[in-house]
Amino acid sequence: MGSASFSSAADLQSTLLAGEPNGPSIKTAIPGPKAKAVADNLGEVFDTRALNMLADYRKSHGNYIVDPDGNTLLDVYAQIASIPVGYNNPALLAAAKSDDMLQALINRPALGNFPSVEWATILRTGILKAAPPGLNQVFTALAGSDANETAYKAAFMWRRQKERGGPSVEFTEAEMDTCMTNAGPGAPNLSILSFKSAFHGRLFGSLSTTRSKPIHKLDIPAFDWPRATFPELKYPLEEHAEENAKAEADSLAEVEDLILNFHAPPAAVVVEPIQSEGGDNHASPAFFRGLREITRKHGVLFIVDEVQTGVGATGKFWAHEHWDLPFPPDMVTFSKKAQTAGYYFSDPELRPNKPYRQFNTWMGDPARAIIARAIIEYIENNDLVAQTARVGDYLYGKFETLAAKYPGQFANLRGKGQGTFIAFDNPKRDEFLLKAKTFGVNIGGSGANAVRLRPMLIFQEKHADILIEALENTVKAL
């Protein structure tokens, strides 16, 4: 995205939001007395058991989050990877105050039935402007789970339409009757293939493809759908090339076997470019090219879940651009940093053959699409994807130094060449995350032991230096 380049220290400074704090400032314990009082009040009407920290968003700015007690933390978790260009970004504030936004907020349309005269323009100048290479249409949705859920539905309808003989072939009476009883030809025996440790959401279909933690799935009825092994790479990569290549080959062989032999044939394979909630698990571009080859070979759709990896965090606007695919994915789902949601596609046959088959009241939200447009424009105008690639290389080098200095504390360092989408394992991970707050850093975890970095796209070298110093102090204090 964009063509601007930085040529001087002044240019580098220009992407920082005016008035951003110079660094963290810790005034009380976290939570402090004011935060505890607010949490107690909130707890009377809202479940706060998952509370990480309370925030005062009116005072938070740029890369920094502020709590009710005035503690200011460098935020490299960013609302679980969802803040793209900083708190209170002026470009987003301007979009929020626009007439387009006022109309979208007070006259929110049921998009499938009553889209506004501006809707096509909003899409073309925003969400579709950032479409992955080879994909030119979008189905908008409300959240990441919803995006995946509707992509799965599109895959099933596409598959059955082909089996039926094409979009012009009408449904049989038996199909229409039996679908109402959830059995028979109207409820086909099909599946979506996902991977061990994957996370694709918490709705019923998406949850059946989520395999990251039991707490996500316990007590919820699930579809009997196939699960393949995601390659478990060993680090450093250059020291385990042969083992890692075998792990990827074994995984691809398992995927092909499940496609051919699982009792509910997969209509699609869904995969994250980096398994985020499952522990920041990576695979090579060759592995993903192999997946694409297998899906095309067997007439199975290839869905890339870019809910967490998309919108610039890996040093490409879309993480799957790192793979150099000979053919684009069939669908790419998105949310989080886009601040809206949906899936991209290009094949006209992924539109169901009749209206109301892929439908709900809102079908997305024009207000969020307007914010997405402002985000995309800001990223493009400030060349933030290239900046994230550059800063990520700088930050990864700093982490390599820390890993050598503190053996075992920054283990299995991963994410080289993937922008700021960096992670490592720590033997005291949960303690590490809490202790980091005392040194002014809000950071998150994933999987069993991983510490994951999810900085905003406005994160720069100066922030990387602050982060590295704070994490070194964190390790020393454990």
Q: Which residue numbers are catalytic?
A: 199, 305, 336, 361
What does the alpha-carbon distance between residue 266 and residue 158 come to, in Å, rounded to a whole number? 12
Judged by DSSP in three states, 75 sits in strand
What does the alpha-carbon distance between residue 368 and residue 87 come to, in Å, rounded to a whole number? 16
Name every residue whose Cβ is closer than 8 Å to that of residue 46 and which is 6 or more positions away in sequence.
none
Q: Are 373 and 125 in contact (CB under 8 A)?
A: yes
Nearest 5°: CA angle at 300, between 294 and 304? 80
What does the alpha-carbon distance between residue 337 and residue 55 come to, in Å, rounded to a whole number? 19
DSSP-derived letter for residue 231 is P
Nearest to 276 by CA among 311, 310, 234: 310
What does the alpha-carbon distance between residue 464 and residue 396 come to, in Å, rounded to a whole number? 9
Q: Where are the beta strands (DSSP E) in 272-385?
A: 301-305, 331-334, 341-345
Token pair, residue 19, equals: 């008035």
Count of CB atoms within 10 A of residue 312's CB? 29
